[in-house]
Structure 1
Amino acid sequence: MDPQSFRERLLDGETVVGTFQLLDSAMAAEMPGVAGMDFTILDQEHGPLTAETTAGMCAAAQRAGAAPIVRVRNNSEAEIQRALDIGAAGVEIPQIETVEDARAAVEHARFDPLGSRGLSQYVRAGGYTGADDYTDRENERRAVIGHIEGERGVENLDGILEVDGIDVLFLGPYDMSQSIGIPGRVRDDRVEALMTEVCDRATEAGKVVGTFADDPAMARQWLDAGVQYVAVGVDGALLTRAFEDIVDAVDAE
């Protein structure tokens, strides 16, 4: 898979499966692609990743055939521009709660005439030398993914759906559970009902929907509900549980 075409794959209706990465390691970023996943989300919001380490992790993920998606720390011009300049196939932007949030995300992530992303073609995304069509290619190929993570985002969903340039609406079940006063209870009927409502409304509006799943069964549930972009598990948790399984199996002998 060419990670540069990841946005086109999404907009063409393809279902993609990946994971979240908090481990600050290029080798760990390579593993999802080696395993056959479509993407890995390099999580700067909740992990210790820096711009410097994320650049190497983007290269490792791409080399293995997985699109590197960077979840930035916040909806700021500097954060979004930096993630895209180092070669991310897409950027995930947390806490999109209003129409203004959605418009700002697009403004920061797209070059003129779609936005006002700061321009240097001498960056990794531009192959270090740039090209005459660099800005057009970036606008066409970089995915912009906005997180709907709470009741306020749901309340303003109709307006958010009308903003051009947000390619994927990503439903954050954990923040969603916290916003309605039941933190961590992501399988509670109230959380699932809220997420289903957003999924249905976004799909009806022609938007790609994404979400996080703790395990394959949860992923299958949301894929069946119309989610197209699903991140299954977090690398540290997956690795820890694998070690626990080994310990349990050895102790059982």
Structure 2
Amino acid sequence: MRSRQPNRLREIIRQGDIALGSCLYSFSPALIELAGFCGLDFCRIDNEHAWRQDQSTEDVLRGGLLGGLVPLLRVDRDNPYLIRKALEAGAGGVIIPHAKGKADVQRMVEAAKFHPLGKRGYGGLCLSGKWGVDAGEEWMDWSNREQLVIPMVEDVGALEEIDEIMATNGVDGIFFGPADFSISAGVPLKIWHEKVVGAVKTIVETADKYGKFVIYPIGFPQWEQVERVKELGVHAVELGHDVSILKSVWQKSIGSFRSSH
């Protein structure tokens, strides 16, 4: 039986490299497999805005694992049932939107981690537990250590509690939401506004202090923003959404052909 591996996303960051990923809106198992085969390190599966039911979510998680990347599932709220189901189904971590402060993230940790870190109920007949073949104490320890808990900072109020959030035992990193944060800061969708950039830098400094990471998403085309993003000091970068990438490529291709006639 194959031994369990460390979480690739965190290992890359520990080595001092920037982890690269993308976001899946389409819930296509083939696309997330392709993302892994292309060399991406992780993929956020968006189950907040692009909601799907359990079976299609499980299929996409399997696709990510087959492609060799770390599938991260963004749940639509910090519901203990949804968090547990995602981790049992094979997610390498959960991303929980709109964390407000320490009380929120502590509740997330309790849902995601087994005792003594949390209150997650035991259920080993799942993909993560290899359908009961390898679902003992070692699996529980591995789950506590390698399945990541990643709250999203999307509100000014959360920034005010960022030290307490980062200090929470069981929180592995932060996913920054620039669009929602800009709205909360009163500068809607101006993601390079000084208020937003300053917030990112504060979060990164706090993450470094506690030995944790920050994931930052950038839109398509990403190559126009590489240097600006590197200057932020973030540890992982999400390179757009599958749907927006396809949209942009198709629009550009159609425009190129039609403008030549």
1:122 to 105, 122, 125: 125
Paired with 2:141 and 2:195, the residues of 1 have a C-alpha distance of: 42
Structure 2 vs 1, CA of residues 3 and 182 (structure 1 numbering), >3 Å: closer, same or farther?
A: farther
Paired with 2:226 and 2:170, the residues of 1 have a C-alpha distance of: 26
The alignment yields a C-alpha RMSD, in angstroms, of 1.8
Identity value in percent = 26
| Residue 79 of structure 2 corresponds to residue 72 of structure 1 | no
TM-score by length of 2: 0.90
Paired residue type of 2:78: N
Paired with 1:148 and 1:117, the residues of 2 have a C-alpha distance of: 23
- CA displacement at 1:10 relative to structure 2: 5.1
TM-score by length of 1: 0.93
1:131 corresponds in structure 2 to: 135
Whether contact under 8 Å (2:9, 2:42) holds in the other structure is no
Unaligned ranges ≥5, structure 2: none
Bigger shift: residues 195-204 or 23-32: 195-204
| Residue 163 of structure 2 corresponds to residue 158 of structure 1 | yes
Unaligned ranges ≥5, structure 1: none
2:145 corresponds in structure 1 to: 140
Q: Which secondary structure does the structure 1 equivalent of 2:128 belong to?
A: helix
Whether contact under 8 Å (2:201, 2:233) holds in the other structure is no
2:201 corresponds in structure 1 to: 196
Structure 2 vs 1, CA of residues 175 and 75 (structure 1 numbering), >3 Å: closer, same or farther?
A: same
Q: What does 1:99-114 align with in structure 2 at a 5 Å threshold?
A: 99-114=102-117
Paired residue type of 1:34: F
1:180 to 175, 182, 185: 185
**CA shift digits 1:4-44 (9 cap, x unpaired):** 52254156244210011110221122221122111111000
- CA displacement at 1:3 relative to structure 2: 7.2
Paired with 1:225 and 1:159, the residues of 2 have a C-alpha distance of: 21
Bigger shift: residues 124-133 or 2-11: 2-11
1:242 corresponds in structure 2 to: 249
